[in-house]
Amino acid sequence: MPTFSVGEIVHHRKFDYRGVIVAVDPVYRGSDEWYEAMARSRPPRDQPWYHVLVDGAAHSTYVAERHLEPDPSGGQIAHPALGEFFDRFLDGRYYASASSGQ
């Protein structure tokens, strides 16, 4: 069972960035090629992975649960795609837009 959910703000332990979760995969859903090239620390494929919009950037990341922790700052995220997923921020988390189906 995933630790985090859509709308939660997280901190990446290894690469020290903040982001907001926009989707959760209960297990790794990427390609073998991507895993071999990008997941150098070889996180488990049978654990949850998260799609994260990176704060202060225009890209997103695909991150294994073991690299994430709650972000205690309570601050919002700056990302150009934020409005595609969420329409409000309340009490330290984002809530999905009705039109996004989340």
* 14 found inside a domain: yes
Q: Which domain holds residue 67?
A: 9-100
Q: What are the strands of the beta sheet with 49-54, ordered from one edge?
A: 60-64, 49-54, 18-25, 9-12, 68-70
- CA-angle at 76, arms to 73 and 80, nearest 5°: 145
Q: pTM of the predicted model, to two decimals?
A: 0.89
Residue 80 lies in a domain: yes
Give the domain CATH number at 88: 2.30.30
Average pLDDT estimate for 31-50: 88
pLDDT-based confidence at residue 102 (cuts at 50, 70, 90):
very low
- Domain-located, residue 3: no
Average model confidence (pLDDT) for the chain? 92
Count the domains in the chain.
Answer: 1
Q: CA 8 to CA 22: how far, in whole Å?
A: 8
Q: What is the band of 100 on the pLDDT scale with cuts at 50, 70, 90?
A: very low
> Which residue has better confidence, 66 or 97?
66
Is a pLDDT exceeding 90 seen at residue 24? yes
